[in-house]
Amino acid sequence: MTQPIIQLSGVDKFYGDFQALSQIDLDIRTGEFFSLLGPSGCGKTTLLRSIAGFETPSAGSLHIDGKSMDGVPANKRPTNMVFQSYAIFPHMSVAENVAYGLKARRLPKAEIQERVSEAISMVGLQGFDSRASHALSGGQRQRVALARALVLKPRVLLLDEPLSALDKKMREQMQSELRRLQRAVGITFVLVTHDQEEALTMSDRIAVMFDGKIAQVATPQMLYGKPSSRRVGNFIGMMNFLEAELLGTSGQTVEVDVQSLGRLTLPLSQAPGGVDGCQSVGIRPEMLTILAEGQTAEREIEAVVSEVFYYGDMTYYDVTLLQKDAPVTVTMRNTAGRKVLAAGDTARVGWSPVSLLLLR
């Protein structure tokens, strides 16, 4: 394992009495696509801006490439940023925008020209060199912002909600393109987003943040499959929660009494955030199945359909399990021959203990 490109330890940030960041410890690995994910106001942008040098942490240390960034201003850091508004200089052409940072470094003219046209074609804007930047579409502006930052070959590229201003189609296209670009240039990308889908599809690893603290750092699969708390599980995708009572641990297993589902023995690996203080089990809607006639499952439970949401390829059911809990959601793919139930129908819901998570 090589040295992490970015190391944060014990980073705090206060604005007056308000604590925007609290004891952030984080290592970002060289060459990875890393996302900071959280609801608005969770401190993710403050963290990104601290790495860029636009905010000064109140406490703690920040190292980039092994060097302390204490007192190093933004224009001397080996990072470049793609701003949420793209911040394209409106009085300059595409090529002038891309050349801006190279000119600041006083590179020879020929080299600037070469690197600019290389960067412009890398983001697919060939032929747009002399286009005025205000005559560009949202997607094109973003490409200019990317080219302008990547042309400087930074050690880390910081992206502040870069896709939030684009429409859905464009956003999906840029997602795969960003990923391709990151692999091609091999530069560490740190992306800030509030969109969990965006984070899951693009990232190597994700840090989920709430209230200025990091709740969990994991790969997309780990984050979705083994969230460390109810809050993370609820933020990343959908999750049903059932009340549970801890009965005791023995060796590698824990015994719980779960509302509706009854007494169960689960391995400790299904309590990813630790066993202490857990009061509920979570289960993803797609881990529950509405059983068709004659179909069986490892475990079954009687339920009544209370609401039906039909999405075409999928149907989302709210069902009430046998003990009148709050309804749980079940998502089913509308595969060939599968009947879509109506509200009020009774159904057998199939589930398996392996898809349960004991959470705090």
Partner 1 sequence: MMRGKGYFFKWYVALFLVFLYAPAILLPVFAFNDSSIVSFPLKGFTTKWFEVLQSTEALHVAVRNSLMIAVTTAIFSTLFGVLAARASTRFAFPARRSIMGFIMLPMVLPEIIIGVSLLVVIIQLGFELSLFTIILGHILICTPFCIAILSSAFMNLDRSLEEASIDLGQTRWNTFWMVIFPLVMPGIVASLLIAFTISLDEFIIAFFLAGTEPTLPVYIWGQLRFPQKLPSLMALGTLLLVLSISLLLLADYFRRRGLKKTGIENSGGFL
Q: Which residues bind partner 1 (CB under 8 A)?
A: 52-54, 73-76, 79-81, 83-85, 87, 89-91, 100-101, 104-105, 132-135, 148-149, 152
Query: Of 23 and 84, which CB lies nearer to partner 1 in the complex structure?
Result: 84
Query: Of 50 and 80, which CB lies nearer to partner 1 in the complex structure?
Result: 80
Query: Of 117 and 219, which CB lies nearer to partner 1 in the complex structure?
Result: 117
Q: What are phi and psi of 184, to 5 degrees?
A: -65, -45
| Pairing, β 262-267 against β 253-258 | antiparallel
| Pairing, β 205-210 against β 33-37 | parallel
Smallest gap from Cβ 245 to partner 1, in A, equals: 51
Query: Of 91 and 333, which CB lies nearer to partner 1 in the complex structure?
Result: 91
Buried b (16+ CB within 10 A) or exposed e, 183-222: eebebbbbbbbbbbebbbebbbbbbbbbebebbbbbebee
Neighbours of 322 (CB within 10 A): 12
Sign of the alpha-carbon dihedral angle for 307, 308, 311, 316? positive
Smallest gap from Cβ 136 to partner 1, in A, equals: 9
Smallest gap from Cβ 104 to partner 1, in A, equals: 4
Q: What are phi and psi of 73, to 5 degrees?
A: -75, 165
Tell me if 148 sits within 8 A of 159, measured CB to CB: no
Query: Of 148 and 226, which CB lies nearer to partner 1 in the complex structure?
Result: 148
Tell me if 20 sits within 8 A of 212, measured CB to CB: yes
Smallest gap from Cβ 127 to partner 1, in A, equals: 20
User: What is the side-by-side order of every strand in the sheet holding 314-321?
Assistant: 289-291, 346-351, 299-310, 314-321, 328-333
Query: Of 14 and 316, which CB lies nearer to partner 1 in the complex structure?
Result: 14
Smallest gap from Cβ 322 to partner 1, in A, equals: 55
Smallest gap from Cβ 61 to partner 1, in A, equals: 21
Element (H, E) at 249: strand 240-250
